[in-house]
Structure 1
């Protein structure tokens, strides 16, 4: 009788726990590290049996559109959003995000890399916690480089990149010398081309917010990019973003790939990459003008102000961006698969440094990034691959479409730049940046 009563009480307690459980909805991007987060989230649910997780995993451009619409309209669809260094300070100042002031006593905020933390802070408050941080770098096939009789410098120039891409291209064998983002979007081709343009001496705006696409520096940038991709890039490159180029590189179809430092773990993973043991790394290229073509970014987790489950969301963010989570990934996937670029302690860990041949280049690239002074000439904005103003999201995507059209040959480089100058100037006048 007592045993039966005990079982009934346990069942009632379990039912009560289930009934009282909160479900939080997490919107995230379909990158490898986020897929791992979702896979390992059973650890969080075991530690928090009263919190259930609902996942919405989307392609990068679609994710940006949906979370932007939801946060701006206070739609309340999501409790945790995956957003980046561009959105966080702007949305935080607009009151669209809740400050992360209760991540717990063991979280260790001071362990976050200063460059990454500062980009997620507005008016002294942290509005998002970094899941992984990144800059950009050169990834290349060491075997093809050796076959071409060349040696990649640690800090290459764009001239060397062109020379190496030409030498490594073998279209009959299905090997293309260079893979770069071509997919239109402010976080896709514009991220790459804007950071590239910084090293060519170009800028989006002068000190008075006047667009600068009608300058020789921008013409040199876009001509170089289009010519390089047409001669040595894969066919259909205007449809390629991060994931598409990752797949091409992993299957041995690219000699050089310039993209996010987070890719280091994916191209050196023997399970996924056919060229894992033939990959080298270098800093993003420059043109001898004092600026490299790298960027600074963090995919981060934030709580929209519209969420009614912020306590549960805060607990999830604290778990997913903690030192303990990094240790969990290391135990399940190996140290090389740990989300990079967020914590000082990771780069002081000999196990990680030994397992990740890209670790030092990643750290050097992040620490050398200067979003406050991103260009050769002075600018009124902050940001390396973006301009940190609300209007940039729409302008960046529109300009990205022009650049993508130039890549496909639908229009000339000159026409793409003229169109970009016109549409950006129109937006800036409407927004009253230009008096």
Structure 2
């Protein structure tokens, strides 16, 4: 038994698994767990690094949950998912009239997270201008809303995460060095799944039994061949990809013991070699005279990992685009139905009704964009510029409504 195993008993590991879904018995994962247990009770700023899908947000939740701030808010923000023009407003808030579309005063995520923890995922995507404000709040806890000179103060623990090489970003001028030093008070490096393959059977069993319990169907485990097959894959999408595969197969094959053929079919159905890149790696290794990945020079290993990350990101982009196209198709069908009927009132959405603009009738030709614009303006008029109520009646998020108001240059009907 190693020193790491001595320091981390089974009871603690069971707690981390049951409370946060952190699983692993390999030395590399035990070491990560020990680091987690040491840094969580402190108030240090933590930078979590690792490839896409390694569980960075899971560990951020655990850091918060094991801290003295655990009863206070935990706010998660994906900096890469918010347009640059909106990110500063979302983080620090704005006053009414601060810019076009700012129809009401709004608190930012930092104010909402007061006394708790804010998790800034994909921190490497943050624009330089916003980085300046973040540095100030880290150093003094002070900030100002957009459109206000009033200095406000918050008490927030900051956890950030990235799959980028931040030192490389600093050298190339895309990230402030002083901010990087502040964020990197403590760095938690999460390993890719291929670096702790021994944990794959544990993870597979955990995700399969969890989805079966959640959906109340029987689960008969994996064959030895199935677990061996899973352990032999490269998993470029890491734990997230493994979880998706296991949950899908367990659901489709519920009541049966999961076999290697079931798993291989599922992986083929979702992209052929998706998650199984040994053939590509083998070609690269043999062409350079190496017998294993361990013999690769460090630079080649970095290139290979970068390619894997790019492949996974492309898959995520495809999924996002598919969701957008599906939503667009739904909107077009709604528009068609609206044109075929004599509409005097927009269909009920979220248990509210919204008057359809008078200038449109069943025999009027119009495009989807103009229809959307008029519906948003009608909602703002009906609720006297109350953005929250307008968003609710339209069935969209307040953030989406704000973006639409800006895009269409709409006005607040209450002013």
Structure showing the higher helix proportion among its residues:
2
Q: How high is the TM-score relative to the length of structure 2?
A: 0.27
Higher relative contact order (CA 8 A, sep 6+): 1
Q: TM-score, normalised by structure 1?
A: 0.26
Tell me which protein shows more strand as a share of its residues: 1
